[in-house]
Amino acid sequence: MRSAQLVSPSPSLPKLALCLLLVCTVGLSAEKNIPDAADQAETHVLFERVIANQKKVEEALDVYERLERIEMRRNSHDPKPYSEKSYRVIPAGTGTGRIPVRGDGQPADAAVYRAELLKLAHQLAWAAESGHAQSEAYAKIQKKRRERDELISAASQAFIFTFIAREPRGNRVLAKFRMEPNPAYKATSRNTSLYSKVRGLIWVDEAAGQLARIQGETTEDISIGMFLARVNKGSYFMQERYELFPGCWLPTFSQYDFDGRKLFMNFNIHERTFFTHYRHMGTPHEAFLAIQKEIHLAETAPAQSH
pTM, full prediction: 0.83
- Yes or no: say if 197 and 20 are a contact pair by the CB < 8 Å rule: no
Give the residue, 44 or 217, on which the prediction is more confident: 217
Give the per-residue SS3 of 167-216.
Answer: EEECCEEEEEEEEEECCCCCCCCCCHHHHHHEEEEEEEECCCCEEEEEEE
What share of the chain has pLDDT > 70, as a percent?
80
Q: What integer pLDDT is reported at residue 268 of this predicted model? A: 85
- The predicted-structure confidence for 228-246, as pLDDT tens digits, reads as follows 778 889 889 999 999 999 9
Task: Indicate the burial class of 287 (C-beta count within 10 angstroms; 0-12, 13-18, 19 or more).
Answer: buried
Using one digit for the tens of pLDDT, what is the confidence trace for 266-299?
A: 888 899 999 999 999 999 999 999 999 999 988 8
167 vs 144: which has the higher pLDDT: 167
Q: Which percentage of the chain shows pLDDT scores above 90?
A: 45
User: What average pLDDT does range 166-190 have in this prediction?
Assistant: 90
The residues, ordered by sequence, that sit 6+ positions from 120 with a Cβ below 8 Å of its Cβ are 4, 90, 92, 97, 99, 291
Q: Is the pLDDT of residue 147 over 50?
A: yes
**What is the distance between the alpha carbons of residues 67 and 284, in angstroms, rounded to a whole number?**
18
Of the pLDDT bands very low, low, confident and very high (cuts 50, 70, 90), residue 302 is low
Does the pLDDT value for residue 153 go beyond 70?
A: no
Q: What is the spatial distance between Cα 29 and Cα 206, in angstroms, rounded to a whole number?
A: 14
**Coil, helix or strand at residue 94:** coil
Residue 5's pLDDT band, with cuts at 50, 70 and 90, is very low
Give yes or no for residue 79 having a pLDDT over 50.
yes
Position 222, amino acid: I
